[in-house]
Chains A and B, each alone.
Chain A
Amino acid sequence: GDSVTQMEGPVTLSEEAFLTINCTYTATGYPSLFWYVQYPGEGLQLLLKATKADDKGSNKGFEATYRKETTSFHLEKGSVQVSDSAVYFCALSPPSSGTYKYIFGTGTRLKVLA
């Protein structure tokens, strides 16, 4: 079945460091790919998405490129801030029209130190 694998955390970085959180997926066809962020005590917020191969999603300095050949969607940010501390979830939505039934990775906790 479809699945998402994320790198295990926690990831601890100093402010202004470069961030990469790896995400690979297994799916039939061409799923849509997402990154969600969850701040402490809050629900999920959509961070960025990509719906087809080679698409690059970007938001708030975060980027991820849909790589069909490597079935990956790694999250990157050039310079993290303390406010980026959160749990990041990679997710996919199988190619079904009109619905968003998500399959999530286990989440990667990021802690950014001042």
Chain B
Amino acid sequence: GAVVSQHPSWVICKSGTSVKIECRSLDFQATTMFWYRQFPKQSLMLMATSNEGSKATYEQGVEKDKFLINHASLTLSTLTVTSAHPEDSSFYICSASGAQYFGPGTRLLVL
């Protein structure tokens, strides 16, 4: 079946640095990918829709300059958390269009 991968699975960084998270569709092409954020013991909240070859669409309240999304190819979308702060610590999960599958998630801890 369709598989979505994420890299890295874990990342710890210092406050003020930027972190890039990759989301790949392994055996299918995805013109659209979605990025979610999950806080501890809470549900997933959609952050943005990543569109191949065009700008991402951000949900209300999500800072587009803070969370940069690039969908450069039909199999790869990246989320960059810029100038990360401790409040950005979370579990970030992606999913790909055309498939009801999610990536395994990336746990970000900002110190």
Q: Give the interface of A toward B (CB within 8 A).
A: 34, 36, 42-46, 49, 89, 93, 98-107, 109
Contact B43 A104 (CB under 8 A): yes
Contact A99 B44 (CB under 8 A): no
> Of B31, B44, B45, B97, which is within 8 A of A44 by CB?
B44
Interface residue tally on B, bucketed by range = 20 to 34
Contact A46 B42 (CB under 8 A): no
> Of B42, B93, B99, B105, which is within 8 A of A106 by CB?
B42
Q: Give the interface of B toward A (CB within 8 A).
A: 6, 31-32, 34, 36, 41-46, 49, 93, 95-105
Q: Which residue of A lies closest to B95 (CB)?
A: A100
List, in ascending order, chain A residues with CB within 8 A of B102's CB: 36, 43-46
User: Closest 10 CB pairs between A and B?
Assistant: A43-B104, A43-B105, A44-B102, A106-B43, A104-B43, A99-B97, A104-B44, A107-B43, A46-B100, A99-B32
